[in-house]
Structure 1
Amino acid sequence: MSRLSVIFDTDPGLDDAAAILALLGASDQVDLLALTTVAGNVGLPLTSRNARIVCEWAGRPDVPVYAGCEQPLLRPLVTAEQAHGKTGLDGVPIHEPDMPLQGRHAVDFIIDTLRAAPAGTITLCPVGPLTNIALALSKAPDIAPRIKEIVLMGGSYFAGGNISPAAEFNVFVDPEAAAIVLGSGVPLVMLPLDVTHQVRSSAPRLARLRALPNRCGPLAADILANHERHDVQRYGQHGAPMHDPCVVAYLLQPSLFSGRRVNVEVETASALTRGATVVDWWGVSGRAANALYLTEADADGVFALLADCLAKLP
């Protein structure tokens, strides 16, 4: 079976870190071309540092990390230290990474890599604000038909918002970027809060990770346990949603998820509903479907898959 060629665009972030670890543990299925970083959960210097820290945890300093956009296309940056801490990785041991940042801007790397590869062979996986992806599509419209698929974590419809009553964080931070990506014509898969809130950490699920006979399994359990504290306070529920790890699980085993091809539009004009993803679930608008919008997940299957990936790491 040929491996998926993936560029993972990220803003680590606790759940991002767990997702990156799982992705690095799936090297038999995924050819990770690079991590590209964006400002989101914390500012760009920290997301770029944190991505390299995670690579070093996994013993993969060979994975190139490219820093991207330090602010949204048109708006001031909104961050999420309340969920991820001031470092983005609060609650777990961090260090100053030895591996360097690459010299090129992430957007230029994305454009050049897509242009150089056979069309339809590279999947983009953004799990933070969509600024890098939107800017690449805007600077180089010719790359859109070259992308195999964009699999993204973002949006919410049935579950409500987690940064405002109407909006999910990644889309809220840069709604103009999300609108560009959703209007690009590229095949899209969306993993919104509607599905990620179904895949929650729990004591037995974290215990399975903590029992792995390596360093990264217990580390991932600690990461998710720290992420969980915010969500228990916010939602009154036990277990943190596995937002970004769900993207990795979908890449590796799409059959764990189900949803519907629908039209999704992003609200950019309203102060009240900035970043809301308007999902035409029943096809009443007449607008063509532009995304596979996932709403159901096999949570136990997702955690079993993540555990299998983490078990392959040091």
Structure 2
Amino acid sequence: DVEGITVNRTVGGGGIDKHVEEAERVVRLCALHPQVKVYKGASGNYEDILAHVAEPEFDGSQAVDFIIDRAKADDARELVLMAIGKLTNVALALKKAPSIANKVRIVWLGSNYPEPGEYNFENDIPALNPILESEVPFEMVMVRYGKPSGTDAVKARLEDIRRIMPGKGPSISTPVAGRHGATFSTFGDYSVELFENFPGNPTDRSLFDMAAIAIVKNPAWAERVTIGAPRFANGKWINRPRNPRKIVIWENFDREEIMQD
């Protein structure tokens, strides 16, 4: 079950309101409005906001408070925080309410571990170490640009999107305006336009986010490795294989199964 969607601002993605608009657009195209709500998260970064988390309202408080509220809900199930952007909202929620650490599981699409870099990671590096140092269940879904072991290798070809996606998904009665001016009644049709308008007109595109969500649905679609939680400092990863604090690394994704699904 999808409890809700939180967003935050990342470099190059426009202001926070643009992120909210896109999330709400997709929710409507999936015929999940208004039952699945979108919550505005952080525009700034962890270190900028940290001192304000005890205040009634702060940058990202709507998303942070939603995460805390759902984690504390009277529900025996583990709350999966599917983080496919920077970790700001999640790290702030843990700072504001440390008790939720044993009620959630964080699955984060981020990092090129054991190498530095990666978009989600670099958008808020200071948000990562507090999570690595906590006891919250934490799983990192590898990106690893240009390498076969990361989600970068799970690529969809434009020709396949044009062939498979038109008309896919529920058809909504009130069309939604897309990013580029056209209107759509199905997510499938909108996805074709998104692929056709990627900068540089690539013939394929890595489905980073989808691959991360796919392994929550079916863990058999990637390899799970448990390691001692590392730390990131001075521009590089510090491995700590004897660290009793363990985290999970997901790598070597089954592209064919994920794409077929």
Same fold by TM-score, threshold 0.5 exceeded? Answer: yes
* Distance (whole Å) between structure 1 residues aligned to residue 238 and residue 221 of structure 2: 22
Structure 2: give runs of 5+ residues left out of the alignment.
50-59, 145-149, 170-185
1:143 aligns with 2:108: no
C-alpha distance 44-304 of structure 1, shift in aligned 2 (>3 A): same
How far 1:119 moved relative to its partner?
A: 5.1
Q: Which residue, 131, 155, 166 being the options, matches 1:200?
A: 155
**What's the counterpart of residue 30 of structure 2?**
58
SS in 2 for 1:106: helix
C-alpha distance 210-289 of structure 1, shift in aligned 2 (>3 A): same
1:256 aligns with 2:221: yes
SS in 2 for 1:74: helix
C-alpha distance 141-226 of structure 1, shift in aligned 2 (>3 A): same
**One-letter amino acid of the counterpart of residue 152, structure 1:** W
SS in 2 for 1:32: coil
**What's the counterpart of residue 129 of structure 1?**
86
Q: Contact between 1:131 and 1:177, CA under 8 Å: does it hold in 2? A: yes
Identity, in percent, stands at: 24
SS in 2 for 1:112: helix
C-alpha distance 59-65 of structure 1, shift in aligned 2 (>3 A): same
How far 1:141 moved relative to its partner?
A: 0.5
1:37 aligns with 2:7: yes
1:217 aligns with 2:188: yes
* Distance (whole Å) between structure 1 residues aligned to residue 47 and residue 193 of structure 2: 36
Specify which structure has the bigger relative contact order, considering alpha-carbon pairs within 8 angstroms and separated by 6 or more residues: 1
**What's the counterpart of residue 300 of structure 1?**
256
Q: Contact between 2:135 and 2:245, CA under 8 Å: does it hold in 1? A: no
How far 1:209 moved relative to its partner?
A: 2.8
* Distance (whole Å) between structure 2 residues aligned to residue 205 and residue 286 of structure 1: 45
Q: Which residue, 19, 23, 47 being the options, matches 1:74?
A: 47
SS in 2 for 1:152: strand
SS in 2 for 1:293: strand
* Distance (whole Å) between structure 2 residues aligned to residue 205 and residue 292 of structure 1: 32
How many residue pairs get matched? 227
Structure 1: give runs of 5+ residues left out of the alignment.
1-30, 77-102, 161-165, 233-237, 306-314
C-alpha distance 70-213 of structure 1, shift in aligned 2 (>3 A): closer
C-alpha distance 213-141 of structure 1, shift in aligned 2 (>3 A): closer
Q: Which residue, 198, 206, 209 being the options, matches 1:244?
A: 209
Instruction: State the Cα RMSD in Å.
Output: 2.6
* Distance (whole Å) between structure 2 residues aligned to residue 228 and residue 289 of structure 1: 41
Q: Normalized against structure 1, the TM-score is what?
A: 0.65
Q: Contact between 1:110 and 1:136, CA under 8 Å: does it hold in 2? A: yes
* Distance (whole Å) between structure 2 residues aligned to residue 110 and residue 217 of structure 1: 29
**What's the counterpart of residue 94 of structure 1?**
none
Q: Normalized against structure 2, the TM-score is what?
A: 0.77
1:141-180 aligned within 5 A: 141-147=98-104, 149-157=105-113, 166-180=116-130
SS in 1 for 2:2: strand
Rg (Cα) greater in structure: 2
